[in-house]
Structure 1
Amino acid sequence: MKKITLITLFASVLSNGFANAKNSDIEHLNAASASLPFSQIVRVDNTLYMSGQIGLTSSGKLAQGGFAAETKQTLENIKSTLEQHNYSMKNIVKCTVMLTDINDFKMFNKIYAEYFTPPYPARSAFAVKALALNSVVEVECIGAV
C-alpha cells in the first residue's frame, strides 16, 4: 500500500510542477531589428535568460583590436541589450564565459571587473575550440528581476 501512495504522491507533485511550468509568465524580449533565430532575452517569471553575446559592433563585424576589444564589445553588448529592455548589469546573477584561449582569462577578469561590481555574479569559464564568426570570447548571462 505504501508503494502506491508514494507513487501517487510523486505523480501528483510532477503533474503539479508541469502544470505550474505551463502557466509560467514567459516573455521573449527582442529588439525590433532582431532577425536571427533566437531571442535576445527570455524572461520566465523573475528570471532572465540571455543568449550568448560576442563582440559584434553595430556594423555587424567583430570589434577590431584583439581579445581586449572583443571582450569590451561583448560586455557592452550585454549591457546595451539589458538596457533596451529596462534592466541593468545589476540584474545579472550568473555568467558563463567561453574563451578560445584560456590564457586570456586574466585579461578577461580585468575587463569584466569594469562592468560588474561586488558582489559579483556567479561565474564559470570554459576554453572552447571555436566560437561563432571566429570570435575569441562569448558570454551568456542569467539575471533575476
Structure 2
Amino acid sequence: MTNKITISTPDAPPAVGPYAQGTQALGFAFCSGQLPINPETGAVPEGVEAQTRQSLSNVAAVLAAAGASMDDVLKTTVFLKDMNDFPLMNAIYATYFPGDPPARSTIEVARLPKDVLVEVEAIALAKLKGV
C-alpha cells in the first residue's frame, strides 16, 4: 500500500473542516480547494481579481510545502460564484501559468464557503517528502 502524506503549511490558510490542505502520494500532490483567505490576517480580499490572486498564492504555498511549484501543476479546477467573472479570473490565472499551462476545468457554483467568489484546487507532480 502506498503511504499517503499530509501536506500542511502555515503559508496557506488552515483547513476550515475535516480535511487537509493537501495530500501527497505516488509522486503527486493533491491541493485541496484554496479559498482566497490571507493566511496571515484571515481576511478575504474584495473582488474576483484579488480573490483569484490570493487563492492561487495559497495553492502555490501548499504545493511548495510538497516540494512542488506552479510549473509542476498538471490539472486545476476553478470554482466561480459567477461565470461573468471568467475573463477577470482568467487574466489573473494566466499570470500564474505563463508558459505551459495545466489542464483546467472552470465551474460556476451556487455558493462557496465563506461566500467567496472563487476557489482553486490543483494536482501536481511532487517529490515525496523524505525521498
Aligned to 1:24: 2
- The answer for unaligned runs of 5 or more in structure 2 is 127-131
Look up the equivalent residue of 1:126 and give its one-letter code: I
* Whole-angstrom CA distance in 1 between matches of 2:15 and 2:73: 25
- Counterpart secondary structure, 1:96: strand
Write 1 or 2 for the structure with the bigger share of strand.
Answer: 2
Rg larger in structure: 1
| Residue equivalent to 1:89 | 70
Corresponding letter in the other structure for 2:27: N
RMSD: 1.7
* Letter aligned with residue 62 of structure 1: V
CA distance, structure 2, for counterparts of residue 85 and residue 51 of structure 1? 13
Q: What is the CA distance between 1:86 and its match in structure 2?
A: 2.5
Q: So what's the TM-score if we normalise by structure 2?
A: 0.85
> When the two structures are aligned, how many residues end up with a matched partner?
122
Pairing partner for 2:54 from 73, 76, 82: 73
State whether structure 2 residue 87 is matched by structure 1 residue 109: no
Equivalent pairs: percent with the same residue? 33
- Name the structure where helix makes up a greater proportion of residues: 1
Please list the CA deviations of residues 88-142 of structure 1 after superposition, one character each: whole Å capped at 9, or x if unmatched: 1111100001000001111111100111123210000000000000100001111
Would you say 1:62 and 2:5 are equivalent positions?
no
* Runs of 4+ that moved beyond 3 A: 32-36
Q: Is 1:46 equivalent to 2:27 in the alignment?
A: yes
Answer 1 or 2: higher relative contact order, Cα 8 Å, separation at least 6: 2
* TM-score, normalisation: structure 1: 0.77
Partner Cα distance (1:35, 1:126) in 2: 21
Once the two structures are TM-superposed, the CA of residue 34 in structure 1 deviates from its matched residue by: 4.2
What is the alpha-carbon distance in structure 2 between the residues aligned to residue 25 and residue 102 of structure 1? 38
Per-residue displacement from partner, 1:39-61 (whole Å, max 9, x unpaired)? Answer: 11111111111110011012112
The amino acid that maps onto 1:101 is D
Q: In 1, Cα distance between the equivalents of 2:64 and 2:107? A: 27
